[in-house]
Every structure is written in C-alpha cells, then in structure tokens.
Amino acid sequence: MAATDSSEPRAPQSASTSKPMLELRGVRKAYPRPGGGKLQALELAELTVPSSCCCAVVGPNGSGKSTLLHVLAGLLRPDAGSVVVGGVSLQGMREADLDRFRARNVGYLLQGGQLMDCLSAEENVMAALHFAGRRRTRPKARALLEQLGVAHRAAHLPTALSGGERQRVALARSLANEPALLLADEPLASLDSEGATALAVLFGTLVRERGLTLVVATHQPERLSPDMVVELCRPWSREGAS
C-alpha cells in the first residue's frame, strides 16, 4: 500500500466498516548489536486483525512482542514490510505525522503503566488529552478517572498510588484520546490475580461496547479470552551476527 502523503493522516476507520484494523505484510525489524552486526527482533510474514477484536500476542521473551507494538504505534519504523492501521499506511509517513496519528488515534498502555512521575494522576491524563489536541482537558481527565474508579486519587503523584491504581490511571491516559486501537504491553504482569481479572473484564467491555480494537502483548492470554491469538517465535535468522 502506498504511503500516505497528506500531512494530516486519516483516522482509522470505525468498527462498522468491513476493512480490518491492522494489516501487516512482511514486517521485519532488526536492532544493531553492540559488537557489530544486527539482531533480528521481529519477523512477521502476515497479520490481519479485524476491528473490534481482542488480539493477544504471545511468545517467549525476546520474540518481538514489544517491538511489534512499537511498530504498530509508529514509534519504530520496520526495516521492511508494510503496516496499515485503520486503512492508513504508516510506511513513508513523516515522523511528525506519525506523532500526530498516534496522539489522536492510538492508545498505548505501556508495560508497568509508566506514568510520568512528575505529574499527578489527573495531569497524566491531561497530558494525553493535550497532545491529542483536546481542550478543557481537566474535566475530561476527571471524568475518565471517575469511569475507572480512581478519581479520588486524581491529585496524587504516581509514586503514591498502588500498582492497580497506577494501571487504572495509565489506562485512563491511554483511553483519553478515544482511540480506535489500544495497544497494551504486559498489562496484567504487575497486577495481582484480582486486579488482573478486573482489568481483563474492563478490556472485554471496551472491545464489546466501544468497538475498540485491542492488541495485547501478554504471557497470560487465557485471562483475556481473546478473539485471536498471535504467537511470535524468536527469529531464527541472525543477520551479520558475529
């Protein structure tokens, strides 16, 4: 698929359309090795994820799960292959356009939440709204925190929150831009059993009721009851490895 030339990238198509949310073809990504050569981190021949689908990405450590999410978020450019998100090709898109596309259309729940420790819970969500181009960010942020049951912790710094609360604030932040695609990297890893179950239920609700497409890198796919599972293996090839 040809690269999008417009400086204002199109938004991903809604769940009601028939086109898939994600289409990947021949995606490869390698990292330079400290000693020279390259380490192949991701090799994906083909992947199609329909809209309003919960897709679990599984695989051992080092199989490229996080790399795949970074590629889908536009944080990493693949060395080869094409990536289409909601009908919009990320290939060849300028970096500033990728940033804008991500800010407005993609939610990313980082591993461990990764809130900005210098900002309060509410300000973390407000920051996401700001970069998404939303105005009157405080009421919206407060509403999101209320929906996720952590409004009472709005003024607290992340260091004062429990693991579950941090994860909920992080989820509120990743949903702030009302994304069509939500990426989550090991969201259940830092939670206890009860918290993990609650979050899995919440994910299910988001997919079913809001038509969100969810791609989750996880070692616990059974908790999520995913619509599809993508299993990644460690790439066997080592280009130029010494």
Partner 1 sequence: MSLLLIAWRLVTSRGLHHGVSALVLSLGLGLMLATVAVGDAARDAVSSMAARYPLVVGPKVGPVPLVLGSLTGLQDLEAGTPLDTVGDLTDDPRVQAVVPLLAGHAVQGHALLATSPDYLQPRERFPLVDGRVFEAGAGDEVVLGAKAAESLALGVGDSVGIEHQHAGAPDEPGALKVVGVLAPTHSAADDTLFCDLEAIYRSHGSAQDHDHDHDHEHADPLPSPRLVSSILIRPTDDAALLSLQEDLQDRGLEVALTGQTLRRIADRLAGGGRLLRLLVGGVVLVTFLSLLMSTYGSSLVQGREVAVLRVLGARRLQVVGVVAAATLMVVLAGALGSLVVGSVIAGVAEGVLRDELGLDAAVSLLSGRAPFYLGGGLLVLVLAGVQPALAAYHLQAAEALTAPAGSGLATRSYLRWSMRFLVPLVVFIWAEQMVAEHGTEGFSRPLDAESSALFDAHRAWTTGDTPESLVALDGSTAVIEGYMYALGDPWEVEDFYLLALNPRLPRCPFCYRAPTRHERILVTSPGGVHEVAPGMVRITGLLTIQPDERDQLVVALDTFEVVVDE
List the interface residues with partner 1, window 47-76 (CB under 8 A). Answer: 66-67, 70, 73, 75-76
SS (HEC) of 31-64: EECCCCCEEEEEEEEEEEECCCCEEEEECCCCCC
Select from 3-11, 53-61, 127-135, 194-202 the region that touches partner 1 (CB under 8 A): 127-135
Question: How many angstroms separate the CA atoms of 105 and 52, rounded?
Answer: 14
Task: For residue 103, state whether it binds partner 1 (rule: CB under 8 A).
Answer: yes
Shortest spacing between CB 138 and partner 1, in angstroms: 8
Provide DSSP, 148-165.
Answer: TT-GGGTTS-GGGS-HHH
Per DSSP, the three-state class of 106 is strand
Q: For residue 216, which of 230, 236, 198 has the smallest C-alpha distance?
A: 230
Q: Which is nearer to partner 1, 115 or 212 (CB)?
A: 115
Shortest spacing between CB 182 and partner 1, in angstroms: 13
Task: For residue 93, state whether it binds partner 1 (rule: CB under 8 A).
Answer: no
Contact pick of 110, 145, 150, 154 for partner 1 (by CB under 8 A)? 110
Select from 20-28, 48-56, 113-121, 230-238 the region that touches partner 1 (CB under 8 A): 113-121
Q: Are strands 106-109 and 181-185 parallel, antiparallel or unpaired?
A: parallel
* Angle at the Cα of 225 from the Cα atoms of 219 and 226, rounded to 5 degrees: 80
Q: Which is nearer to partner 1, 1 or 127 (CB)?
A: 127
Task: For residue 116, state whether it binds partner 1 (rule: CB under 8 A).
Answer: yes
φ, ψ of residue 87 in degrees (nearest 5): 85, 0
Shortest spacing between CB 194 and partner 1, in angstroms: 27
Length of the chain counted residue by residue: 242
Count of positions on this chain that bind partner 1 (CB under 8 A): 34
Positions touching partner 1 (CB under 8 A) are 66-67, 70, 73, 75-76, 95-96, 99-100, 102-104, 108, 110-111, 114-119, 123, 126-132, 137-138, 173, 177
